[in-house]
Each structure stands twice: as structure tokens, then as C-alpha cells.
Amino acid sequence: MTYAFAALAFLMAGLATAQALRRAALWRLGAAAPVDWVSGLAKLPKRYLVDVHHVVARDAYASRMHAIVAGGLLAATVLTAFAILPPLAGSHLYWGVVALAFAITLAGSLLVGARRYPKTPKRLSKGRFQRLPILLLAYAAGGTVAALSIALAGPGNAVLPIALLVAAAGGLGLAYEVKGGPMRHAVAGALHLIAHPRQQRFEQDKPDAALVPLDLDAPKLGAELPADFTWNRLLGFDACIQCGRCETACPAFAAGQPLNPKRLIQDLVASLAPDGPAYAGSPYPNARDVAGEAGPLFKVIGPDAKIHPDTLWSCTTCRACVEECPMMIEHVDAIVSLRRHQTLELGAPPQKSFETLANLREADEPGGRPLSARGDFAAGIELPVISKRGAADVLLWLGDGAYDLRYGRTLRALLKLFHEAGVDFATLGEEERDTGDLARRLGDEATYQALARANIETLRKYRFNRIVTSDPHALHALRNEYRAFGDDFEVVHHTAFLLELIDGGKLAPGKLDAGTVTYHDPCYLGRYNGETEAPRKLLDRIGLSRVEMARHGRRSMCCGGGGGAPVADVPGDARIPDIRMAQAAETGASVVAVACPTCTAMLEGVTGRSAEVRDVAELVLMAVEASRADEPRRAAA
Amino acid sequence: MKLVVLLSVGRHPVSGKPALPRTEAQAIRIAAELGASIGLHVGPDAFPAEAALGHGLDRAVHLACAGGPDPIGPLVARIATEAPDVVLAGRRGQGGEETGLAPYAVAARLGVPIVPDAVAIRPAGDGLVEVDQALPKGALRRLVVRTPLVVTVHPNAPAPLPYAFGKARRGSIERVDAAAADLAAVAPAPEERPYRKRPKMMRAAGGSAADRLKAVTGEATAGGAKILDGPTPEDAAKEVLAFLRRVGVLAPAGAGATGPTA
Amino acid sequence: MTRPRRDPRAERAAARTAGAERPRYDLGAKASASRRPRRDPRTEAASQRVPGAARLRLDRSQFGVVPVLAAHAPERPAEKAPPKPVIVENPDFLVLVAPDMAGGRLGEHDRQLFGAARELAGKTGATFALVGAASPDLGPAGADRIAIAARDPDAYDPDGRAAEIVAAMRALDPRHVLFAESADGGDLARRVAVLTGEPLFADAEQVSASALGRPARCRKVEQRSAPTRLVTVAADCVASYAGAPREARLETVELSTDRTGAAGAIVSARLIPADPATVPLALADFVVSAGNGVTDLDLFARVVAALGATPGASRVLCDAGLMPRDRQVGASGTVLGATCYFALGIAGAPQHLQGVADCEHIVAVNTDLHAAMIARAGLGIIQDAQLVMPAILKELERERGDRP
């Protein structure tokens, strides 16, 4: 009878393997991708214990629950398998240890059950996931009783067969779930950690967020069918455990736009394997009607397919979902890949972006404005142009915000600070084109690459030590995404640069008495580049009392302005910046400090806001001017 | 239905970079939705043909020739062999002379009628098409015309489909040297000098010449803004209506209660 | 002290006009204490002003005449007795004018066309209008001669019209033929150009007897040329004729046309007028827009309909779903090309103002005196839009009632 128990462990392993292989046949439909299995496998424990745990631990209950139930399940099953060794099969101590392992699993199963019963939290999916605690409970309870009965009464006891039967039902059920059910996450998740498409994200401290350039000579541009994704991305979609952390982080979901990252990933899974269990999580808010056949070789996007285009274009590419995902799924990469096909192959970007993309292509600028007008905001403040000098210490990249009336104020403040600190700087003048960030996020990789190449060519003409920009989108493009085109610039955000000037004694700001301030992290600075400290230090240096919003730093919420979302303008129930400003209002701060032209425009566009929106540079200038006003007074005293 | 879209090299109005004229891109959208269409371009540069594919044509013909000759001859010769039902063209060029004469010249040489300023074209039975022609301020004239014909496209037509890199890559361009016999030199352009913006004349509601003069010199509005702080709603209403009549968007009290466009 | 001492207070008291609630002073009536007659250059200039000229013209020969009318100089004597029409009996040359005359009336663009024609005709030439129907406005607009075309003015037959112009050109041999660069006029001109094989100077923005100017290459250059035979005149660039009325003598011209070629290709033509309620915002001429200050949108809809305008809205209302997104005015909505914009309860966010930057006239009703919209408006009313809207409806109602 003890062998039957051990056999159950092997049977479970066998069934799980068979189910996983059936699933793997689907992954093999995807495009090829180079994977270093040996290195990946060697790094798996670190990736699991450090990188995954770092994310999972944000939810303490889930973290504890997972450690106990997963650890117990694995330990108990492996231990049971050793019962095929006759000396162990006869050892009471051994069976006592097995019983303990099952008991731990049982405790974990109860934690899993307690999370879902009596009431399941909104973000969790139901359906087959509701069965999971029952299967776990059956396996763990059956196993505990069986092992305990052997330990106490020997293998011949009468309880054992019944307990084994219960354990077998639970255990085989769990193994069966490896193909289509909740247990798939265990297998796919482990493989995903090994074969992850972004290996770099485990190797460096800062995020790995640069999009991979698209080969414009490829036979097909972007992803149209599930099979157009590389196989390890399909694997990644299958790793989803439907915990819903992404949907609580997603700004579009919060605003009632038809996007739910969890549902999107599940729709991609369902496109690949239409016969799987039905999705039972929260839907896309205000979901658009779609009707179409799904399958590995059916198109994914369209009103007549699985995912409506509005869903695709609601994304702000803020990466909040990626940041929150414990399974390390790369939602934004998938979205951009799908967008590339829509824009490049079908010519179907959002209606409102037609003009923008045409301008980017034909005028190197999204608004169709003359490049020579980019410096107009300076209005009297000296704005050196590098073509007249050939070299400068700092190249100031102005970005798209320079055309905006409101943002001109911020740039003027920055210029004044530069002059005050005696920075040797210059701009590209009318040679500065758009970085192409917007075109790229809208899927127009061709225009992006043309702009990137043109900009790199311009930048190579001049000598400078580094680029300073106030636009995190430009910063990300220049620093991280242009690297793929053969250039590596040192790019500094203006907040980091100003902090350097203050620390170096070039700027001497006084203390501002302007109430409390809360800092809104731009996604492309915080989440994309991991820079959250410099602006905060700046605010502290100028003596402002700082309060934090509940969501800040790398877990900050998007202003709604990224990824071409404002251009796509998919209607929802609320506007993302309104939600963000309400969060800022909760802190009671009188000033919302920003560090990005897009955030400035989005948050300033909120009507009836109680707090002022000020760029960090504007606040620093106020502090510098305040100290200058104090000087004569101090001298007199 | 068989269609030909005439293509030209345009310039982006701000950047001056080569761009397909917007109305031609709109013409492509109309054509592509109606049936088998080809693009036709005469000139040294294949750019418009390539752009046309990106905007939605499957096939374009580039009649290559050196310099900037009069394109009418080669266009007419090629259209005659294609024998399309409808020839579509932009309303004006963009970045060149911008006289808008070419489609008329083509129609005259082909001996077919021309309908200008179309915003929509629909088949209307045997050898007929229905053309919606844009009139000022959103009005339309709906014409039923016998094919073949030349139609120019108005800026109010549906926005052009965006340029798709993949479509441009997929489509085919047939490059043919234009027959020398068809080519003719263009008349020399008049003397040119940099454009100087002049103040636009203000529109006035009929009235006497003196009123119009006032409107032109800005006397009517130069007095600046009129601000009424807290008038009674009735006075406010009277002021508003008087103002609307003065600027000519509301018919005078005697002429009817609704605006002139109603 | 040779000069008598002035007492400003007494002078002011003497100049005070009686009866006004607030103190008002007629300082102009102040008797001069000095013996020298005082010159008033402004009234002198007013008396020297030549009535009716498009530009301000002064007749300096009138120097020294002490003006009788000081305060009412702009009063035009022409309105009292209609001036005799100017007659050009034997013109040296003719300028043929083909106005659009939509609906049989002279439009603003047509008047400007006659202004351009008179400019080209000068003193010795005569303008000759080929029109669909006579109109009493033609003489004052600047037509020396007119001829009535034979065709039905309401039928859409551009080829027929072009053939008639060509026939008239044959019969009259005009030095210039002028068309409006409008939808129909521009079309007609190009047809005539192709029929006659003559070059067309299209879209002329400057018209004088010596030279024409037109924009080209995306308005980067201006092409100049001595006046050619066929010219189209751009809208709102040339002043209308503002001199004394012309004769508008009716003449008959042989307009026999040999219709060949594509004649009769147009099977039917039907006019579909624009419905201001549904016309796309970008095309609308008069937009009435609602913002946060408008709570009763049914009332707003009735005001818009009564004014015959196109409805618009601020971003806030569209975001809230109270108005459809395609009605949103502003940088992220539609940028208007309207002549007049009437903002009800809109504060005027920068993005909104970008959307109305091209509007010639702006009326704003808002409760906040310091709203940006009020600052931008030609007529700003500090009042609750919710109260002004019913008042407008009532006022329009009253006017309708007053009409005989």
C-alpha cells in the first residue's frame, strides 16, 4: 500500500509532464527565439527566490500563502516519491516527516481557501481557480491522513485506502490542471524564468524597458496571429496566474477604458488555445463587442477577432502591469508588437493619430510645426545653438514640450537656472527632430527608425559630453532605445542634473515656504529608468515638506499621457489624470511636483484641481530667486 | 469599377519635405474603396508612386522622365490605354505652382467631363456614378454623371488613410520611360519672391461700402473687447444678438429667426 | 503776468452739461481765452476727407477751410441724395467679370471681384459683368455694363457656362476676364482656360493695374506677373469697390455656343444644404459651445437651434459624456475655422483657446470676469449662462412676434 502512495507521486509527475508536453506543442507554434537553457536553468533559483519574491512579497498574505503551499506541495510530493525505497517505506520516522510536509501543505491550502472563500477578492479570477483550494485540500488532507496512519498504524490500516483515494483525487486533479488550469503557472512560470525574452531584467539593478527594434525587412511586421509571437512569449502568457495585480495597477482599467492587462493576456492565451477553460476574471471595462474565430493562425486584433482595437490602443505603455506582475510577463512588449502590425501592415492606427503620424513622417514633428519654432519659448532668454559653436559641455534636448505654452514656462525656468549656474550648454536648434518615441509607441517603427537614425547622425556631428533633457520620453529614447542603432549617449534628466549643480555648489537655492508638495513620478523616468530619488532630493534641498501619494516611485500611477494614449483617445468612464490628481489631493499637498512635459500637460488639464502643478525646475528656480532676494537682507543684517 | 489616381510630388507645407499632396491621398482612399485602382505619376522621382502604395493602392505606374516637363501628354497617353471609368486627382498641387489646371487639361485632352471638389463617389448603375461635390460651409451638390470622367477631390473628403510601411513594401511599381513624343516643356513660372503675409480682410454683413471699409480697417472691432459686467439676462441677450448680427452670422431680425445657413 | 490767469475749476464748472446723473463736461465747447483762433487738425482732416474712397484720402486743396461740421464729419452726404452713376461711354477696353452670384445675390466675394475688376479697368476701361440675372446691386458694386446669360442660372451646367464665357470673350474681346477663386468660380475659370488654351493666373491675392500676385509653393513664394487675360481672385484679399455707383448698362451679347464633346454628361444635380446641427465642427461657420457653466443641455440645444448654429462643447462636457466627443472644441478636439464662436459657460483652458484661435469673432458668457475666455472675447458678458440662454430664446421669440 505504501508503494501505491509513492506511485501516486510518480503518477502525478507523469500526468503533469504529459499535460505540460501537450501545452508545449502549442508554444512550439510560435516563432523561434534563441534561448540559453544552461545559463537560464542555473539562474532559475536566484530569479525565483529574489526577483519573483521581490514582487510577490508586496502582498504579504499571498507571499506567505504561496511559500507554504508551494513549498509544502513540492516537499510532500518529492518525499512521497522516495517511498519506493524499501528502507524508507518501512520507517515510521519517514512517514512522520511526510505527514508533516503534507500538514504544511494542508495549512497552505487552507490559506488558499481562506483567500477565496467565502468571498473572492475582485481582482482574482474565479472559474477553475475556485477549484484549486479544493484539490489542494483533498491532496493535502488525504496525504496527511495517509502518511500519519502509516506512521502510527503501519501500512495495513483501514484508513489508508480511503485517505489515499482522496489524496489521489486531489493530486491527479492538480496534475491535470497543468495544461489548462491554475497549475499551469507553476510549469510555465518556471520555464518562463529560464527562457525569459528579457534576460537583462534579472541581471541589472535598473529596469530593462527598451523596446527591441523591429527588422523592417522581415516578411511580416509585428504580430498578427498568436503564432507570430516568439515561443517564449507564448510561454510567458501561459505563466499568468490571474492574480489581477496588473488590473489594479492599470490606469486605463481604473479609468474605465476597455483594457484589463489580465484579460488581455488571457485573451492571447485563449487565442492560442481556444478550447481552454473560459475566462472568469473581471472583464474589460466597457468591453467592446467582438466576434470572431480564435486559434493560433487566426488574427488577434479586430472587431471580428478576439481583441478589439480599442483595447490595444487604450494602453499608455506605463509598464505598471509589468512592474506588478509576479510571473514577469511583458505585457507592453506584446501590446507594442500587436500595434506594430496594425500600423505598419494594416495602416490601422487610431483614427486620431493619422495626422500625428503623417506629421512625424513628413515634418519630423508630431504637431506639424516648424522645427525652427522649437526655441521660440525662450522669448528673450539666451538659447545657444550648437551649430554655431560646434561643441558644448551639455547638449540640452528640448523635446516636444517646447512647443507647449505651459511647458515653455518650465523650460524657461531651466534655462535661467543653467545661466545662473554658468552651465556650458547648447541646443540642437532647428536640427532637433522628434525622438520618434510617439511614433514607436503607436507602432510606427518605420518612422521611428528614420527619426532615430536622423537624430543620431545629427548628434554625431557635434562634440558634447552629455545630453540633458527635461522630457523622460526623450531621455528613454536617447539613453536606452537609440543604443540599438549604434550609439550610446550619456543622458541625464534635468532633475538629476540640477541636483548635481546644487551639490557642486553651482546653484544655491534658498528655502521655499510653499506648503507641502507631493511628487508625481513620470513612468518613463521612474519605472523605465529607475530614477526616483533625484527629484525627491531636490525638493528636500529647497526645504519643501514632502508627502508621498499611496502610489509613488516605481509603483507610481501614470498621468495618462504616454504611449500615444491621448492621441488614440479611447473613451472611458473617467480620465486618468483626474484620477491621479484626486490621489494627489488625498495627500493634502498644495503643490504637485512633476518632471515631465506630458505629465505637466495632463495634470494641468484637470479642471477644478485643488493643487498647483509645478515642474521641479520651476520650484528650484523659485528657491534660487528667493535666496537671491534674501541676500541683501542678510548682508544688511 | 476601374480607377486611376493621378499622383504628383508635393511638399509638406511646413517642413518642405516631399509628401504626397493630402487631396491625392484622399483620392486614393476613395479609389481603393471603389475598386481596382492604379496610381499614375509622371516625373523624375518615384516618390509619389511609393507613397501612394503606402496610402492604400496596390499598384502604381511611374512614367519616368528627366526634368520637370508638362505631365499631361504622358498621363493622357497612359490613361487612354488603361481606359478607367474614373480618373481621380487632387484639387490642387501642393508645393508647386498650385494652379489646379492639370486635371482640367487631362479631361479636355481625353474628351471626358470633369467634376471638381468631390467628397464621395458611389457607383450608380450602368455607366453612371454619383458624385458628392463639396460646397462652402458643409453643403453638398449630388451629381449623377456618365463615366468615364475626371474627378478632383476636395479637402473635406474623408481623411486619407495613414501611410503604412508594410503596404508600401508589398505594392508594385511599374516603371516605364515616358514617350518623348508626349513630353512638352512647361511655360516658365512667373517672377517669384518670398511670400509676405498680408492681413486678411474682415468679412462684414452686407451694409454700405463704408461699413465694409470699417470692417477692413478694423474700426468695427479695433475698439477692442466690450465687457459687460453683470447685465440683466435680457440686456445680455440683446447685446449678444446685436453682436451676432453685426458679424453676420445671424440673420437680421426682420429676415427670419434663424441663421443664414439654415 | 501778461496772460490772464486761468481758473481750471471755474472753467470746468462752466463746461458742465446739465441734466446728466453723473457729472459730464463738454470740454470741446470751452471758449478759448486766447485771441488766436485755435486750429484743430483732426476736424480739418475730417473735412478734407474724400468720401467713398477705399483708403483714407484727403483733399489738401481744402486747406484752411474752417470746418462747419466738427463732430459729425463721417456723416456721408451720399446717403441724402444718391450720387449720379459714373458712366464710361466709350471704354478703351473691357474687363469681363463672371461673378458667382449664388442664389442670384452678390456675395462678398463677388463684390471683391468687382473691386478687382474696377482696379484693372481704371478710368478708361469698363467692367462688363456676365450674370445669370440682373440685380440692383451690380451698379454700386462696380459694374459698368451687364449682360444677362441665356442659360438657366439655377441649373448646374459648368461646361455650358464656360462655353458662354468663351462666346462672350469672342464677342467682346475683353482685356481681362475675372473669376472668383471659389468652388464654382474657380472651376469655371479652369474650364475656360482649357477651352481657350490661355494661361490662367489663379488665386490672385494682389490685383493692381500693373501687377498681379499669387501665392505658390505652399505659400512660401509669391508669383508676380503683369495682369494676364484670365484671372481668378482669392477671397478676402482685394477690397470691394467703394466709389460712386457705376452705370450697370444692360447690353446684349451674342452668346451662341457650340456645345460639343462632353456635353450632357451630367444626368442630374441636386443641392443638399448643410444642416448646421450636424455639419462637422471644422466646417461650421458659427459655433455655439457649452462648458461647465451650462447645466441644462436641452435648453442649450434649443438655443443652438434657434440661432441656427452648430453645437460644440468644452472638453469637460465631452469627458463627462454629456456631449459626443466629435463636438469637442480645442486642441485635443476640433480646431475651428468658424467666423464666430459663442462660448457659454466656458472658462477657456489654453487647449480650448487653441481650438478657437482662428475664429474672427468670439462672444463669451461666463460668471468669472477673469476667465481667459472673456479676455479673448470681442463681447464678454459676465453673467450666468443658464440665465442668458432663456433670455436669448425669449428675445428671438419676441422679435418673431414683432415681425409684420
Q: Give the start-end residues of each E strand in C286-351.
A: 286-290, 310-313, 340-344
- For residues B27 and B133, state if they share a domain: yes
CA–CA dist C388, B238 (Å, integer): 10
Q: How far apart are CA A174 and CA A164, in angstroms?
A: 15
Cβ neighbours for A21, distance < 8 A, ≥ 6 positions apart: none
For the stretch A275-307, pLDDT in tens is 888 999 999 999 999 887 888 889 999 999 999
- Answer yes or no: is pLDDT of C68 > 70: no
A248 lies in the same domain as A138: no
Looking at the fold, whether A538 and A411 belong to one and the same domain comes out as no
Angle at C68 between CA C64 and CA C70, to 5 degrees: 100
Q: What is the CATH number of the domain that holds B67?
A: 3.40.50.620
The answer to whether the beta carbons of residues C148 and C178 sit under 8 Å apart is no
CB contact (8 A) between residue C220 and residue B213: no
Last residue of a domain, one of A194, A228, A248: A194
Query: Chain A residues with CB inside 8 Å of B159's CB?
Result: 351, 354-355
Rounded CA separation A447/A340 (Å) = 11
C-alpha cell at A312: 490595444
Residues within 8 A of B (CB atoms), C 214-253 only: 215-225, 236-242
Asked if residue C41 is part of any domain, the answer here is no
Express the helix, strand and coil content of chain B in percent, nearest 5 each: 30, 30, 40
Query: Distances in Å between the alpha carbon of A248 and those of A51, A122, A161, A258?
Result: 20, 10, 45, 14
Give the per-residue pLDDT at A119: 92
Domain boundary among B164, B182, B200: B182
Residue B145 and residue B41 share a domain: yes
Here the cell at position B180 is: 518623348
Residues of C in contact with B149 (CB under 8 A): 262, 265
A17 falls within a domain: yes
Q: Which three cell numbers stand for residue A105?
A: 501543505
CB C304 within 8 A of CB C358: no
- Who has greater pLDDT, A39 or C261? A39
Average pLDDT of span C40-52: 68
Residue B133 and residue B34 share a domain:
yes
Coil, helix or strand for B200?
A: coil
CA A604 to CA A581: how far, in whole Å? 9
Is the domain of A317 the same as that of A179? no
Structural domain boundaries, residue A594: 516-627
Residue B172 lies in a domain: yes
Give contacts of A406 with chain C, Cβ < 8 Å.
350
The reported pLDDT for the residue numbered C311 is: 94
Assign residue A244 the CATH number of its domain.
1.10.1060
The lowest-confidence range among A144-153, B98-107, B180-189, C81-90 is: B180-189
User: Nearest-CA distance from C301 to chain A in Å?
Assistant: 23
B160 near A CB under 8 A: yes
Write down the pLDDT at residue C61. 55
The answer to whether the CB of A280 falls within 8 A of the CB of A260 is: no
Please indicate, yes or no, whether residues A233 and A172 belong to a single structural domain of this protein: no
Residues B107, B24 within the same domain: yes
* Residue C28 domain flag: no
Domain, as residue range, for C174: 94-251
Same domain as C247, residue C285: no
CB proximity under 8 Å: C 22-41 to B: none
In a shared domain, residues C157 and C304? no
Question: To the nearest whole angstrom, how far is the Cα of C22 from the nearest Cα of chain A?
Answer: 42
Same domain as B88, residue B135: yes
Smallest CA–CA distance from A406 into chain C, residue: C350
User: Does C245 lie in the same domain as C99?
Assistant: yes
Interface confidence, given as ipTM, is 0.85
R_g over Cα of chain C: 28
Residues A336 and A368 in one domain: no
Using a CB–CB cutoff of 8 Å, tell me whether A354 touches chain B. Answer: yes
Residue that terminates a domain, selected from B182, B200, B224: B182
Choose the final residue of a domain: C212, C229, C251.
Answer: C251
Please tell me whether residues A595 and A475 are part of one structural domain. Answer: no
Assess whether A289 and A395 both reside in one domain.
no
Q: Which of A359, A607, A609, A613 to mutate to test the interface with C (most CBs of C within 10 A)?
A: A607
Strand-pair partners of A385: A427
- C230, C251, C272: which is the final residue of a domain? C251
Q: What is the CATH number of the domain that holds C288?
A: 3.40.50.1220
Distances (CA, A) of A580 to A213, A261, A361, A574, B212: 32, 19, 33, 11, 52
Q: C380 and B226: CB-CB below 8 Å?
A: yes
The verdict on B68 touching C (C-beta cutoff 8 Å) is no
- List, as one string, the DSSP characters of C364-384: EEES-TT-HHHHH-SEEEES-
Nearest in space to B45 (alpha carbons), one of B60, B27, B23, B66 = B66
Neighboring chain B residues of C140 at a CB cutoff of 8 Å: 209
Q: Is residue C49 part of a domain?
A: no
> Over the stretch C286-335, which tens digit does the pLDDT of each residue have?
999 999 899 999 999 999 999 999 999 998 888 777 888 889 998 778 88
pLDDT at B220: 44
A262 and A186, same structural domain? no
Chains contacting A (3 or more CB pairs within 8 Å) = B, C
Q: Where does a domain end: A318, A345, A372? A: A345
With CA atoms as reference, the chain A residue closest to B165 would be A344
**Residue A592 in contact with residue A550, Cβ under 8 Å?**
no
Whether C101 and C247 map to the same domain: the answer is yes
* Residue A265 pLDDT greater than 80, yes or no: yes
A16 and A62 fall within a common domain: yes
A592 beta partners: A518, A613
A:169-228 residues touching chain B, CB 8 A cutoff = 216, 221
Distance CA A581, CA A592 (A): 8
Round the average pLDDT of chain C to a whole number and report it: 83
Of B159, B164, B165, the CB nearest to A216: B165
Contact status of A569 with chain C (Cβ, < 8 Å): yes
The answer to the question of residue C299 being in a domain is yes
Please check whether residues C290 and C210 belong to one and the same domain. no
Query: What CATH code is carried by the domain that includes residue C113?
Result: 3.40.50.620
With cut-offs at 50, 70 and 90, classify the pLDDT of residue B224.
low
Residue of A411, A496, A197, A443 lying closest to A312 (CA atoms): A443
Using 50, 70 and 90 to split pLDDT, how confident is the model at A581?
A: very high
pLDDT digits (tens, 9 = 90+) for B57-95: 999 999 998 877 788 999 999 999 999 999 999 999 888
Report pLDDT digits (tens) over B18-33: 999 999 999 999 999 9
Is A434 found in the same domain as A335? Answer: no
Measured between CA atoms, the residue of chain A closest to residue C334 is: A352
Q: Is residue B202 part of a domain?
A: no
Least confident of A215-224, A604-613, B7-16: A604-613
Cβ C276–B262 below 8 Å, yes or no? yes
> Do residues C134 and C226 share a domain?
yes
With CA atoms as reference, report the closest residue to B92 among B104, B75, B83.
B104
Q: Is residue B248 part of a domain?
A: yes
Q: How high is the pLDDT of residue A305?
A: 92
Burial (0-12, 13-18, 19+ Cβ within 10 Å), B113: buried
B46 in any annotated domain? yes
C322-331 burial: b if 16+ Cβ within 10 Å, else e: ebebebbbbb
pLDDT tens, residue by residue, A11-58: 999 999 999 999 999 999 999 999 999 999 999 999 999 999 999 999
Same domain, A325 and A452: no
In-domain check, residue C39: no
Looking up cell 458624385 gives B131
From B137, B164, B182, the end of a domain falls on: B182
Nearest to A406 among C316, C325, C350 (CB): C350
Mean pLDDT score, B223-233: 81
Q: Is A217 exposed, middle or buried (0-12, 13-18, 19+ CB in 10 A)?
A: exposed
C-alpha cell at A465: 559630453
The partner residue sitting opposite A575, judged by closest CB among C319, C350, C351, is C319
pLDDT at A311: 96
Position A323 in a domain? yes
Q: Under an 8 A CB cutoff, do A347 and B56 touch?
A: yes
What distance in Å separates residue A217's CA from the closest CA in chain B?
9
Q: Is residue A200 part of a domain?
A: no
Residue at A632 is within a domain: no
The verdict on a CB contact (< 8 Å) between B162 and A371 is no
Q: State how many domains chain A has.
A: 4
Cis peptide leading into residue B199 (ω within 30°): no
Question: Mean pLDDT, to the nearest integer, of B141-154?
Answer: 94
Q: Which amino acid is residue A164, in one-letter code?
A: L
The minimum CA-CA distance between A261 and chain C, rounded to whole Å, is: 23
Domain enclosing residue B235, as ranges: 209-254
| Alpha-carbon gap, residue B160 to B225, rounded angstroms | 40
Residue B187 lies in a domain: no
Angstrom CA distances, C213 to A40, B102, B240, C55, C192, stand at 73, 21, 39, 20, 21
- Provide the number of structural domains found in chain C: 2
pLDDT of A450 above 80: yes
pLDDT recorded at residue C403 = 57
Q: Is residue C389 part of a domain?
A: yes
Q: Which ranges of A378-522 does DSSP label H, i.e. alpha helix?
A: 405-421, 437-441, 445-461, 472-476, 494-503
Condensed to tens digits (0 to 9), the pLDDT of residues A88-141 reads: 888 889 999 999 999 999 999 999 999 998 999 999 999 999 999 999 999 999
Strand partners, C49: C58
Q: How many domains does chain B have?
A: 2
Question: How far does B78 lie from chain C, in Å, by closest CA?
Answer: 20
Q: Is residue A338 part of a domain?
A: yes
Q: Which residues of B touch C111 (CB under 8 A)?
A: 212
Query: For B112, which of C205, C262, C375 is closest by C-beta distance?
Result: C262
Closest CA to C356 of C286, C257, C266: C286
One domain, residues B144 and B232? no
Closest B-chain CA to C340: B249
CA C319 to centroid of chain Cα atoms: 37
pLDDT bracket for residue C349 (50, 70, 90): confident
Q: pLDDT of A400-424, one tens digit each?
A: 999 998 999 999 999 999 999 999 9
Q: Which residues of B touch C224 (CB under 8 A)?
A: 190-193
Q: Which residue of B has its CA nearest to A348?
A: B162
Q: Which residue has the cell 466597457?
A: A286
Three-class HEC string of C29-88: HCCCCCCCCCCCHHHHHHHHECCCCCCCCECHHHCCCCCCCCCCCCCCHHHCCCCCCECC
Same domain for B110 and B162, yes or no, is yes
What pLDDT score does A630 carry? 75
Inter-chain residue contact C224 with B243, CB threshold 8 Å: no
Q: Does A105 lie in the same domain as A131?
A: yes
Per-chain mean pLDDT for chain A: 93
pLDDT given for residue B115 in this prediction: 95
Same-domain pairing of B166 and B219: no
CA distance C54 to chain A (A): 37
β-strand A463-469 against A491-493: which pairing, if any?
parallel
Whether residues B108 and B230 share a domain: the answer is no
Model pLDDT for residues A540-574, shown as the tens digit of each residue: 999 999 999 999 999 999 999 999 999 998 988 88
CB atoms within 10 A of CB A14: 13
Does residue C77 fall inside a structural domain? no
Q: Which of B141, B201, B209 sits opposite C269 (nearest CB)?
A: B141
SS3 B19: strand
Looking at the complex, does the CB of residue C70 fall below 8 Å from at least one CB of chain B? no
Contact C232, C204 (CB under 8 A): yes
C232 and C104, same structural domain?
yes
Same domain assignment for residues C247 and C303: no
> Predicted confidence band at C79 (pLDDT cuts at 50, 70, 90)?
low
A634 lies in some domain: no
Chain A environment of B18 (Cβ under 8 Å): 362
Q: Could you please report the per-residue DSSP string of C207-255?
A: E-SS-EEEEETTTTEEEEES--SEEEE-TTSSPPP-SS-B--EEE----
CA–CA dist A394, A319 (Å, integer): 30
